[in-house]
Structure 1
Amino acid sequence: MRAILFGGAFSLLISLLGTRVAITVLSRRGYGQEVRDDGPTSHHTKRGTPTMGGLVIILATVVGYALANLLTGTEPSASALLLLFLFVGMGLVGFVDDFIKIVKQRSLGLRSKAKMVGQTVVAIVFGGLALSPMLEDENGRTPASDSISFLRDIPALALPSIVIILFIWGIVAGFANGVNLTDGLDGLATGASMMVFGAYTIVNIWQRNQFCQDLPTANCYDVRDPLDLAIVSAAITGACFGFLWWNAPPAAIFMGDTGSLALGGGLAGLAVLTRTELLLVVLGGLFVLETLSVMVQVTWFKASKRLTGTGRRVFRMTPIHHHFEMLGWEQVTVVIRFWIITGLCVAAGLGIFYAEWVAGS
């Protein structure tokens, strides 16, 4: 348990101090945020704010995890290394996107197909390795499972490995882009991600305390490396906490796609490795809501244009946080209320997780 505290504390400190350095360095190099022209006019003042701050979150997480293991003499597990691979890999795709925006001075970086190809490669490699027999532990457990899961594996939903890999790809791409869509207001995605990663730290700790290898009861959790996953999750939580100091309204730095894709990928990876893929829909309910708002807007607009010749919209603007801005809400009001929604989703998800264990014990 000391390693969890060390991981969170070190990453928080590195992120808190490192982000200040990043603001200075990025500002000197002119690596500022480009703003979409069709967005709320109030966002135009943000043009030029340093971006790619997600690099600090990634660095703080990796270093915090490494220091925690070094101080406690713990060897990295296959599950934790896979999660970090997904986290850093998705961040690299986001970094390329951010860099193109900066170099070409436009609000769009990688083309959508190129970005999806990058995400797909990282997700497929992660899924293939997570299911590989080469990474089985002494009890024959692979980091991921061949079954779709809610609170634990659902035996009736055991599927061929290729189908599970495609399912993993869908989760990774969905939540990476969900966090990316949410990252449109100062501190919104950072604060929401921090809460969900904090929830996964609790989930991992609980799974470790009720681990089948140590406590072989009827209701134990047959997962792999829950303690090491808790260290990574705590490190990401701490990194988000430190970054939020500078990213809170009014933001002095943005995480960019570098941070949002990394955080979304990290959430998806934790869901896969803890056998809680469907529970992530509850815990990360805000990201699901943001994604659905865009899907509904696009679908309704295209359908109405085809039927009536005039495209109609459900929301004034999507993702949905911009809809409330267009209604006249202050940005900070939208952010705080969406944080509250995330808190309720996290409370509901943890409540469901714990209630299932109590009911079966």
Structure 2
Amino acid sequence: MLYYLFEYINKVYSPPGFDIFRFLTFRSALAAMTSLFMAFYLGPKIIRVLQRHQIGEAKKADGPKFHWSKAGTPTMGGLIIIFSVIVPVILWADIKSIYIILILIGTLWLSGVGFLDDYLKVIKKYPNGLIARYKLLGQIIIGLIVGVTIYFAPEFKDISTLTTFPFLKNVNFDFSFLYIPAVVFIIAATSNAVNLTDGLDGLAAGLIAIVMIALALLSYFSGNAIFANYLNIIYLPGSGELTVFIAALVGASLGFLWFNTYPAQVFMGDTGSLALGGAFGIIAVLIKKELFIPILGGIFFMETISVIIQRLYFKYTKKKYGEGKRIFKMAPIHHHFEILGWQEPKIVVRFYIIGIILAIISLVSFKIR
């Protein structure tokens, strides 16, 4: 809302210095700082509320035994991130933008799905929380909303089903009639991937911050005709506004990481992980960079693949030999390294390093095209 206020003041009174609020870079910086300070302010308060109501992580029988000591740590801390993102975006972004509308709706929706799952699991004591098919239904619904909107919106006319192809110059991939199903799959996959990755203190929050910094640059470049032409990517007028949202998400994630780093004072729960993963997928869809997800989000992709491989191999060997065997000592793969003897902070930092390398590769790939 402050964006519109300062725009009005600048238009009517033209005071010196107010023209700066037109610039995406300035508003993005303000959004990042606002969200960071909000996370610092809200974090202790929300943690105290969670502790007071005994909203803590339950002991996971299917997880490593040395994680059982974490039982009781406050969860649903994703609320810190969500509140710290929404307010700065409303203050500093153009909330009439179709890009901002879609990303806000998608993030809030998936956070609501995750909140319901956490509520049933932690407060109502349902062992599995929200039934998997209902959780998937929630992801499908928001995927359909995003996919159908992009497919028919005039802002995406003639490019609605196109996406940038990695590493190849002058090549765009056309999803054609499979576009909407592809969007549904992408959003469901990314939200679940971040959810699977959220198993070590600080891992998911830090990796999301790294991924979002790269996406902020890509969003800004895609919305700038000069940069889009220089990098030979699809020009998307107005997509730069997503930079404000992404900057707020980076600030909120870093602020949350202050409390979530080892040893964690709070976990984000599905309230945060489904929302962050969904935001990753929705932004990639909006800026037409869907095919970069396995590269940019390589750690999330690896975590998901490790679970799929583990389950398929176990079922195959059980059917063939009568006894299920495993490739990894435990999946997702971060638990495999824990059981090998790696300390939790070492795994997290090394995954950060890989995440940074993959983000650099994703950005550099536009020039080597």
Superposition TM-score, scaled by structure 2 size = 0.88
Give the secondary-structure state (helix, strand or coil) at the position aligned to 1:234: helix
Alignment of 1:24-173 (within 5 A): 24-69=48-93, 74=94, 76-105=96-125, 107-133=127-153, 136-137=154-155, 141=156, 145-150=160-165, 154-155=171-172, 157-160=174-177, 163-173=178-188
Looking at structure 2, the residues matched to 126 and 300 of structure 1 have their Cα atoms a distance apart, in angstroms, of 35
Contact 1:34 1:107 in 2 (8 A): no
Q: Distance in 2 between matches of 1:326 and 1:16?
A: 33
Deviates more, 1:288-297 or 1:344-353: 344-353
1:283: which partner in 2? 296
- 1:359 maps to what in 2? none
Per the alignment, residue 208 of structure 2 pairs with: 193
Could you tell me how far apart the structure 2 residues matched to 1:341 and 1:253 are? 25
Residues 39, 143 of structure 1: CA spacing in aligned structure 2 closer, same or farther, 3 A cutoff?
farther
Determine if the alignment matches structure 1 residue 321 to structure 2 residue 322. Answer: no
What displacement does 1:209 show?
A: 3.5
Measured in 1, the distance between the counterparts of 2:172 and 2:268 equals 39
Which consecutive segments of 4 or more residues in structure 1 shift more than 6 A? 215-218
Quote the RMSD (CA, aligned, Å). 2.1
CA distance in structure 2 between the partners assigned to 1:253 and 1:159 by the alignment: 43
> 1:314 is paired with a residue of what secondary structure?
coil
Shift of 1:102: 1.2
Distance 1:145 1:310, change over 3 A: same
Which residue of 236, 239, 259 corresponds with 1:246?
259
- The equivalent of 1:179 in structure 2 is 194
**Contact kept? 1:142, 1:224, Cα under 8 Å:** no
CA contact (8 A) 1:23 1:50 kept: yes
Distance 1:337 1:267, change over 3 A: same
Give yes or no for contact 1:147–1:153 (8 Å, CA) kept in 2.
no
Quote how far apart the aligned CAs of 1:155 are: 4.6
Identity of aligned residues (%): 36
Match of 1:4 in 2: 28
Number of residues of Structure 1 aligned to a counterpart in Structure 2: 343
Is the alpha carbon distance of 1:5 and 1:197 closer, same or farther for their aligned partners in structure 2, counting shifts above 3 Å?
A: same
Between the aligned partners of 2:287 and 2:205, the Cα distance in structure 1 is 22
* Corresponding residue of 1:351: 364
Contact 1:11–1:239 under 8 Å retained in 2: yes
Consecutive unaligned residues of structure 1, counting only runs of 5 or more, are 357-361
Hey, what's the Cα distance between the residues in 2 that align with 1:223 and 1:37? 47
Partners of 2:99 and 2:159 lie apart in 1 by 8
* CA distance in 2: counterparts of 1:182 and 1:144, whole angstroms: 33
TM-score under structure 1 length normalisation: 0.90
Q: For residue 244 of structure 2, what is the aligned residue in structure 1?
A: 231
After superposition, the Cα gap between the structure-2 partners of 1:150 and 1:15, relative to the gap in structure 1 and judged at 3 Å, is: farther
Unaligned runs of 5+ in 2: 1-24
Of stretches 282-291 and 24-33 in structure 1, the one that deviates more from structure 2 is 24-33
Q: 1:158 to 1:254 in 2, by over 3 A?
A: closer
Paired position in structure 2 for 1:295: 308
Change in CA separation of 1:155 and 1:334 when aligned onto 2, cut-off 3 Å: closer
Q: 1:349 to 1:332 in 2, by over 3 A?
A: same
Deviation for aligned residue 1:205: 2.0
The alignment status of 1:17 with 2:7, answered yes or no, reads no
